[in-house]
Amino acid sequence: MANGEEFQYKGAKFIIECKEHINRVAGPGSRNYIIRGILDHEEEVEIPELIDGDPVTSFMPSVSFCEKIVYPGIRRLRLPGRLGRVLERNDIFPDLEELQVDPSNRIFSTDRKMLYRDEGRELCLSLAAGIIDEVVTVPKRVERLGAFAFADSKCQEIVFENPWIEAEDTSFDRSVWLDEQGPAAYVGNMLYRVNADAYSGRIALFLREGTQRAGKRAFDGPGTFESIKLCIPENMKCRGLADAIVSRLTDVRLRFGSDRAGIVTVSRMSGEGKAEKEIPVPTSLDAVGMDMLRETIDSGAGLYDEVFERIGNRKEKVDYALYAASDEGDVNEELYCRCISGDADEAALRAVRILDEKALFRLVKRGYIGKDALIGMLPQLQSRGMVNVAAGLLVMINREDAF
């Protein structure tokens, strides 16, 4: 066999791949073996330590020789001391009840149910526990979850003893646990993922007490939404939450080519359960709006004026006032009137450019746009294709009791 050449063959129990490597220090070459498949589906399988005197270093099943990648019926699996790589999939052994790792292995360890790396600080696979047990406890010593720690697992409840445990974006992909979490999934004290599929158009989320962090992809997912309404317990600071929202809204804007990616509304819940006034954050303000969102969430801002004073540009103040007035929550009328005073027509035309149809209707119904301004809006509405809004405004203009 030439240096670097690979071959694969079927042994008595396994599909085996042999690799020869050039070793300039120890000698002309060295071999190691990779287990590519299991042929004998006994209840107990032990991956060999050596083959032909050379170590088995990887367990990486493949579909070669038409072998399936799922091995039902295997209930106990033992990994050898020199094994350094394992295919990170939880669905390989659907009937696994016990996992063993040779004590001499310096890479992996186990509690007979889950597979760990780095002296137990990383949970890389849930394996038996992730498939069989209804309730899984992740020990306090675990500092992070691997990229596929609970991916494809069927456990319905997971307890994280370490509140500061970290998770990868894909740690729970296609897992039953993620689907069972309802509106939001939490890993320790981190908001891991908002299940956007459960919402139509608007996300309304009450952050759980004790939440201190948000995952990078907390608002990612196959679902889409127009706006986010957050209720944050009083004085709570959630690191990374604003950036997670910004990332999601920016992604939506890029994918759908929209200049207006939605509104983030933040409200603070006091200890007595009474919500303070909501703070609408117009994300179409780009850098200014995004900075305001971060400050609002990260610093605990709770009043309209406090946010309003952070906007220095006149046009952006008008945009903010329009968003505030068209929101479904409480409206700071004084702020709105102060902002558009003397420029009602200009504000009305600006509303056509930045608000959607529902927000425009709310603005009109609340009485913030007068009859003259409405008449001036009609050509712009028609040019934007908002025929339904234009028709509705025509009806209101012709009604004497509408103003």
Q: Is residue 229 part of a domain?
A: yes
Residue 233 within a domain = yes
Same domain, 293 and 360: no
Q: Which residue has the higher pLDDT, 375 or 310?
A: 375
Q: What pLDDT is recorded for position 107?
A: 95
pLDDT of 315 reads 66
Q: How confident is the model at residue 26 (pLDDT cuts 50, 70, 90)?
A: very low
- Find the mean pLDDT for residues 182-211: 81
More confident residue, 266 or 403: 266
Are residues 288 and 361 located together in one domain of the fold? no
Query: Left if phi > 0, otherwise alpha if psi is -120 to 50, otherwise beta: which for 147?
Result: alpha
Higher pLDDT, 240 or 340: 240
* Mean pLDDT across 3-17: 61
Within a domain: residue 77? no
Residue 335 has a pLDDT of 61
In a domain, 69, yes or no: no
Same domain assignment for residues 297 and 350: no
Verify that 263 and 304 share a domain, yes or no: yes
Residue 89 backbone phi and psi in degrees, to 5: -140, 135
* Distant-in-sequence, close-in-space partners of 73: CB < 8 Å, separation ≥ 6: 41, 42, 43, 95
> Which band of pLDDT confidence, cut at 50, 70 and 90, is reported for residue 217?
confident
Higher confidence at residue 169 or residue 232?
169
Q: Which has more pLDDT, 346 or 237?
A: 237
Instruction: Select the highest-mean-pLDDT range: 100-109, 272-281, 341-350, 361-370.
Output: 100-109
Check pLDDT > 70 for residue 199: no
Whole-number pLDDT of residue 286:
55
pLDDT value at position 59? Answer: 94
305 and 333 together in one domain:
no
Mean residue pLDDT across the chain: 75
242 and 345 housed in the same domain: no
Digit-coded pLDDT (tens) for 321-374: 676 666 554 455 666 666 665 566 666 777 766 666 677 777 777 766 766 777
CA atoms within 13 A on the CB side of 324: 27
* Same domain as 380, residue 302: no
Give the pLDDT band (50/70/90) at residue 258. very low
Which residue, 263, 279, 311, sits at the end of a domain? 311
Q: Does the pTM of the predicted model rise above 0.95?
A: no
Instruction: Looking at the structure, tell me whether residues 205 and 305 fall in a common domain.
Output: yes
Kindly tell me if the per-residue pLDDT of 78 is higher than 90: yes
For the stretch 312-317, contacts whose Cβ atoms lie closer than 8 Å and that sit 24 or more positions apart, written own/partner, are 313/288, 315/350, 316/285, 316/288, 316/289
Out of 311, 337, 367, a domain closes at: 311
User: At which of 250, 285, 311 does a domain end?
Assistant: 311
User: How many C-beta atoms surround the C-beta of residue 403 within 10 A?
Assistant: 12
* Distance between CA atoms of residues 119 and 161, nearest Å: 17
Number of independent structural domains in the chain: 2
Check residues 128 and 189 and name the one with the higher pLDDT. Answer: 189
- Tell me if 53 is assigned to some domain: no
Give the three-state DSSP class for 128. helix
Domain contains 181: no
Residue (of 283, 239, 228) closest to 261 by Cα position: 283
pLDDT for 82 beyond 90: yes
- pLDDT at residue 25 is higher than 50: no
Q: How confident is the model at residue 206 (pLDDT cuts 50, 70, 90)?
A: confident
Dihedral of CA atoms 236, 237, 241, 245 in degrees, nearest 10, equals: 70
Give the mean pLDDT of 2-21.
Answer: 63
Residues 287 and 261 in one domain: yes
Residues 207 and 303 in one domain: yes
Q: Are residues 242 and 200 in the same domain?
A: yes
| Domain carrying residue 386 | 327-403
Quickly state the pLDDT bin for 235 (edges 50, 70, 90).
Answer: confident
Residues 6+ away with beta carbon under 8 Å from 78: 44, 45, 46, 47, 99, 100, 101, 102
The span from the CA of 35 to the CA of 56, in Å, is 7
Which pLDDT does position 208 carry in this prediction?
87
Quick check: is 84 in a domain?
Answer: no
Q: In a 3-state reduction of DSSP, which class is residue 249? A: helix
On whether both 386 and 287 belong to a single domain, the answer is no
Q: Helix, strand or coil for residue 135?
A: strand
User: Does 177 reside within a domain?
Assistant: no
Query: How far is Cα 43 from Cα 45, in angstroms, rounded to an integer?
Result: 7
Structure tokens at 56: 């088995």
Confidence of residue 239 (pLDDT cuts 50, 70, 90): confident
